């Protein structure tokens, strides 16, 4: 396994999510600009207010994703270690975790992995552990088989 591959896949996943939000933001801005004043002024003001609220919501989501990109960029995928911490790629039985940001399940080619934060419940159970140690994920015991 190569941590760089999973780092790239996580970054691509973030980029795709950002592109969707940026397009939605552009669409709502364009809709607000093209909305013409009708004889029912209240209708116009209501639609402008709703577009403004939607823009704020999308801008907030975009800011969260930008912060996640900044966090991901703090990982040097070429550094390997025996102890699990931020930036580790961890194999536990048939599960693969990238200790990075809380994105959850990511499909990359034919592999599924989980991008998780170190402060998540599973992340907390993994931090500081090494190959051969056992952890509890949900109600299932699993052994750490791989750390990169």
Q: Identify the pLDDT of residue 39.
A: 46
What sign has the CA pseudo-torsion 114, 117, 122, 128? positive
Residues in the chain predicted with pLDDT less than 50, given as ranges, are 39
Please name which of 49, 129, 141 lies closest in space to residue 93, comparing C-alpha atoms.
141
Q: Identify the pLDDT of residue 49.
A: 78
């Amino acid at each position: 396994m190569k941590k760089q591959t999973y780092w790239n896949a996580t970054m691509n996943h973030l980029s795709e999510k950002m592109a969707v939000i940026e397009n939605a933001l552009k669409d709502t801005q364009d809709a607000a600009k093209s909305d013409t004043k009708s004889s029912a002024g209240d209708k116009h003001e209501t639609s402008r207010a709703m577009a403004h609220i939607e823009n704020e919501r999308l801008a907030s989501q975009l800011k969260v994703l930008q912060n996640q990109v900044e966090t991901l960029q703090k990982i040097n995928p070429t550094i390997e270690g025996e102890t699990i911490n931020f930036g580790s790629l961890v194999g536990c039985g048939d599960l693969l975790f990238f200790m990075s940001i809380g994105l959850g399940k990511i499909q990359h080619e034919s592999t599924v992995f989980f991008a998780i934060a170190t402060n998540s419940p599973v992340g907390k159970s993994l931090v500081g552990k090494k190959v051969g140690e056992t952890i509890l994920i949900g109600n299932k015991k699993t052994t750490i088989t791989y750390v990169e």
